[in-house]
Structure formats: structure tokens, C-alpha cells
Amino acid sequence: MTRRGFRVLLVFVLCALLLKACLVKDVSIKSGENKKGTEKLEQKTYPSPENITLNGVDYLQSKAPVGKFGGEFISSIIGEGPKTFNPFNSKDNTSATLSGIMYDGLLSTDPISGKPVPKLAKSFKILPDGKTYIINLRKGIKWSDGMPITADDVVFTWKDIIFGGLGDTSLRDSLYIGDKLPSVRKIDNYTVEFVTPEPYAPFIRSLSQSIAPKHYFKNAVKKGGSAFDTFLSTNTNPDEIVTSGAFKLKEYVPAQRVVYVRNPNYYEINTKDEKLPYLDRLIYLIVGDLNNEVLKFEAKELDVINLQGAKVARYKSLEPHSDFKLYNLGPTTGTMYLSLNLNNRKDSKGKWYVNPVKQKWFQDLNFRKAVDYAIDRRNMVFNIANGIGEPLFTPESLNSIYLNKNLKSYEKDLSRSREYLEKSGFYLKDGKLYDKSGNRVEFDLYTNAGNTEREAIGVMVKQDLEDLGMKVNFKPIEFNSLVNKLVSTFDWDMVIMGLTGSPLEPNGGKNVWLSDGRLHLFNMRTPKEGKKGILPWEKELDNLFDKGALATKFEDRKKYYDRYQEIVYNQKPMIYIYSPVIIVAIRNKFKNIYPSSLNGLTHNLEEIYTDE
């Protein structure tokens, strides 16, 4: 199963306006097509690493061209920086990314085909029963402190941390089949067996989860609770951290930078049998916001940048005379959405999470439809993404192999919005919208401050909804404060957010769609509430994800995941906005660059080198 082809990008421009207009026209051209004034993404066949045994050690050998050792690569992160370096307690994308650099999983994903491939594992197989997974580990490879990586580490990670419910339980929760979890056991020092209660299609991809060094994590795991949650905090001495990844932490300066250095014990080598990575240092500058990120790239303080649509025309015109190259990686694998708070419950003190008046609006499907049809997605694509993107109407990304293509797109239609509002008794008076009880329709709209794209979307959503007579108080706030509202206090009305995702496996979003999921943001429940008071369509989503995970054939799974998208499309708890095309600029001095619409431009950091 392969993903949709890469999207093309126009190359010759007379001016920024012309490029913008052309990109709007041609962004959806598939990679196999060719039109005047367009160029296809430079596609390279990634030379996948292969196993090799030298002196009793099972290395992963890079087949990319041999490079030079030394130098550094400087990237960036938006916001305030990581909250933890514990890969099992990372609840935000920044922390997950930065901790994931240090810890490899048993398997990884081939950046071109999307197939599971060995990482810490030397090989794996699924037995004919469809439930038993045999993992053969690499012999002789070591943690950064020189201790061997063995089956004990794997069993400890899965049994004591993941299945033990420590840290972020999202992965564990996604693996329940009924009330049962998979089992894990050690066969010998380098062989592990997993058994799922039933054949479970998503399980193989969960084996990319980081593996923890038992000797380093065991005390925190034994203490559990807050001791584990604070383990590997951002105050941890980097010299103490034991890792398996190509890079290990060297320095963290809050609000400034995160610095990694090469791990001399990494298990990948080049064809000259020299240990990778090539780079001496990997640096992430904490840039605060997207505008500051652009300034730093133009000042040559950054080596790579993901460009917003509005910046692409200028960078494309500069490219022929610059020290960087642009890559079009196709539609983002994540989704951006507007969500309404459907919560109609009280907290432990008897206080409503959401004002009862607003509850009635948000739970009214006609109201949600009115909001949906008022959103001018195409105008947002043109003005915010500069035409480099497409409107989005489903929870699956545009390049997902499970995308339900039967769900039709539509344009902004205020007359239709007004029809839905009138059906529920809303009316206009002096240009202001009121409900049937005479309450002025007014609410707060949140997003995370510093994300200029989402802030721009918020401004346009505010205007679109005010065209219906609603009063929208747009409030960008600090990311942690926003997360607290969404998952802890439930004190919010509407929000613009995004979710990362996989175009290969919808089950990764299980915690968003299960009625008791930890990311079921639009109708969050406390652990004590469980599935209490779930809506009929929420119950159907629960059933669909259970059935989709147990189906082993793609055709069967596709039916379940088509239906889940149809429910979200019809019920609109989350209203999807648009899917930007990912355009990345990277300095020409870096070699062994193999673009991937699945894993981005720097998925093979251990193989990348600089020729300067």
C-alpha cells in the first residue's frame, strides 16, 4: 500500500503574485503529471539500511553515500521548549520529538513505502495465528553508557512502564482489546515474544515506541507516580542520561536551545564500517514564534525551515541565487480543525464546565452545521496558505490511505448557515444573533499564541461567524494554559488546534475518538465518568475503532474507517479547515537528503552530513 504521490510546485515566476496564482491552480497536480511551468518533486530512491554482523555485533549498515564526519545541524522549535525528556511522559509534540531523538524503538517506518522496518530489532515475524510477534534483537549493541541492550529492557519497557500505566497512557489505552492487553515475555536475552488477545492490525506499528534502559529507569518505575512523572525532567543533568539514539543530550538552556551530541555507541555504521552519525552536534533553537523562526533562517542561524504558504513565493524567487533548496513534501500528515465544546456535565463541586446556555448551542447539530458552512476554507487557503494547500473536511489527512473520498467538499454558504440557525429558533435583531430564549450568541474562541498560522485562521473564523451575527471573542493564549483548559478544567467554548497523525494507521487517533479517550477534547470526561452519558454517535465511534483494529484486511478496515469519517463529517464535533502543503527549505551544504512525504526531510539524521 503506497501513499498518494507528492504534490508539484511551480518553478518559474515573474512576480510573487503570479507564483501565488499558479500555485493555487496547480498544487493538486499529482506527481506523475507534468504541465508547463511546473516541476515535480525531486524524488530519490532511499537506500534503506541493511543488517550486517561484524565481530559478533549486529549493526545496521547505511547504504547512503559515505560522508564527512563533523559539523552541526541547527533546527528550531516553536513555543517555550520541552516540558520533559521522558519519552513515556511526553504529552506535547515538542517534548515527544526531543525525547524521541534519544530513544529508538524496536521498529521504525520505511520513509518511502511506509512498511515497518527493524531498528533496535534485527528482525521480526508474525506467526500464522496473527497474534504472536517474535522480535529478534541485535546482539552486541549498547546503551550510551556501554551497557548491553537486551530483552530485559524490552520486557521492562512494555510490562512495567507501558502496560503498568506510568506516564502518558495513550499507547496502552490504544492497545486494549476489550479489557485485555497484549502480553510480553522474554524467550532469551535477544528474543522477545508479544501476543495480542486477538489478531490486532495496529499492533505492529506500536513497536516503534521507545525502549527504556532498565538499569537507568528502574528506580523511577519502582517509585511510580510523581517520581516517574518528574524523572528525566528538563532539570536533569545531561551527563546522567542513558540513551540509545544517534544523539544524546548535551545541554538545555530554557527558552534558548537544546543541544545534542553524537552517541559514540550508536549501532548504525556506514559502508566503511565507521560508526554514525556523521554530525557532531544537533541543535534546536527555541524561537518562540513563526516570524522569529523566519528571521533566524534568513540570518543563517537555522539550517532548515518549514515555510508557511505566505513565505513560499519569496523563497522560491530567492532559491536560484541562495544557499538553500526548497522541497515540496506534499500535504501535511496532520489535521487542523475548529472544535466546539459539547460537554454538558458539572465538576466535582457542582459547577458547570460550560455555561448551560452555550451548552444548548454547541450540542445543537444545526448550530454546528451553521458554523461549518460559514467557514470560508478556500479563502483561508488563498490568504493564509498563499494557495499552497487544500480545504479539508475529514479527520483523515489528504494523503491518508484511509481517506474517505466519498465525502464531498463544499464552499462557504451563509444562506445555508442561516437556514440551519432558523431551524433551531435563532434570529437576527439589529444584525446581532440571538437564540430562541433571547440570549445573545457570544462565546470565546481560543488557540495557542505564537502560532501565527492558527492566529490568522482565528481572525478569519471570527469574521466569518460574525457575518452570521455571532459575537466571537478571539483569545490566543499560552500553549500550556490552553492545554490545561482542554484536558483538565474543560473550561472553553471553541478552539482552533491541530493534531499530528499517520496516513498509514487511523488507530493512532483512537484516543481522540473513543468516548473515554484522553484526547476526546470535544467531550472530555474525567476518569471517574468513563463512558457515562455518551452520545449515540460517540458509541458508534467506539465500536468502529474496536472493529477496525481487529480487522486484518485493508478492505475490511477501510469500511470501518470510512464510516468513522462519515460520522465526524455529519456530526461536526470537530470542523476541519484546510491541509497545507509542506514546503521545506534546507541549506545546500547538507547531503544524503532523501525527501519523504511520510517522515519529512531529515528522517535519516544519522546519515546526513555537511560538505563544508
pLDDT of residue 511: 86
pLDDT tens for 521-543 read 999 988 788 777 789 999 999 99
Lowest mean per-residue pLDDT among 12-21, 135-144, 163-172, 195-204: 12-21
Is residue 565's pLDDT more than 90? yes
Least confident of 121-130, 171-180, 573-582: 171-180
Give the pLDDT band (50/70/90) at residue 21: very low
Over residues 315-372, the pLDDT tens digits come to 999 999 999 999 999 888 889 999 999 998 888 888 899 999 999 999 999 999 999 9
User: Which stretch of 96-105, 452-461, 506-515, 576-585 has the lowest confidence by average pLDDT?
Assistant: 506-515
Read off the C-alpha cell for 524.
Answer: 472530555
**What is the distance between the alpha carbons of residues 206 and 208, in angstroms, rounded to a whole number?**
5
CA 220 from centroid of its chain's CA atoms? 28
Residue located via cell numbers 517534548: 95
Percent of the chain surpassing pLDDT 90: 74
pLDDT at 25 over 60: no
Q: What's the pLDDT at 43?
A: 54
The predicted model gives 477-505 an average pLDDT of 90
pTM, 2 dp? 0.81
User: DSSP label at 177?
Assistant: B
Instruction: Give the ranges where 198-321 is alpha helix by DSSP (H).
Output: 203-206, 214-223, 225-230, 290-298, 309-318
Write down the architecture of domain 335-580 according to CATH: Roll (3.10)
For the stretch 44-93, pLDDT in tens is: 689 999 999 999 999 999 999 999 999 999 999 988 899 999 999 998 88
- Domain 77-230, CATH number (from 3.90.76.10, 2.30.29.30, 3.40.50.970, 3.20.20.140): 3.90.76.10
Fold of 238-332+582-610: D-Maltodextrin-Binding Protein; domain 2 (3.40.190)
- Residue 308: predicted pLDDT: 81
* pLDDT computed for residue 173 by the predictor: 86
- Checking if the pLDDT of 33 tops 70, the result is no
CA 378 to chain centre: 24
Segment 191-203 mean pLDDT: 95
Cβ proximity of 433 and 426 under 8 Å = yes
Q: What is the pLDDT of residue 4?
A: 33
Tell me: pLDDT of 281 over 70: yes
**pLDDT 10s digits, 460-482:** 999 999 999 999 999 999 888 99
Residue 201, φ and ψ in degrees, nearest 5: -55, -40
Q: How would residue 42 be classed by pLDDT, with cut points 50, 70 and 90? A: low
Q: What is the pLDDT of residue 530?
A: 75
Quote the CA–CA distance of 536 and 105 in Å, as a whole number: 38
24 pLDDT above the threshold of 60 = no
> How high is the mean pLDDT of the chain?
90
Would you state the pLDDT for residue 155?
A: 98
The answer on pLDDT for 12 being more than 50 is no
pLDDT of residue 55: 95
Segments making up each domain of the chain, as ranges = 9-39, 77-230, 238-332+582-610, 335-580
Q: Measure the CA–CA gap between 405 and 471, rounded to whole angstroms.
A: 35
Q: Where are the alpha helices (DSSP H) in 159-257?
A: 170-174, 203-206, 214-223, 225-230
Q: What is the pLDDT of residue 350?
A: 86
For range 492-519, the mean pLDDT: 89
Find all residues with CB under 8 Å of 18, minimum gap 6, and list them: none
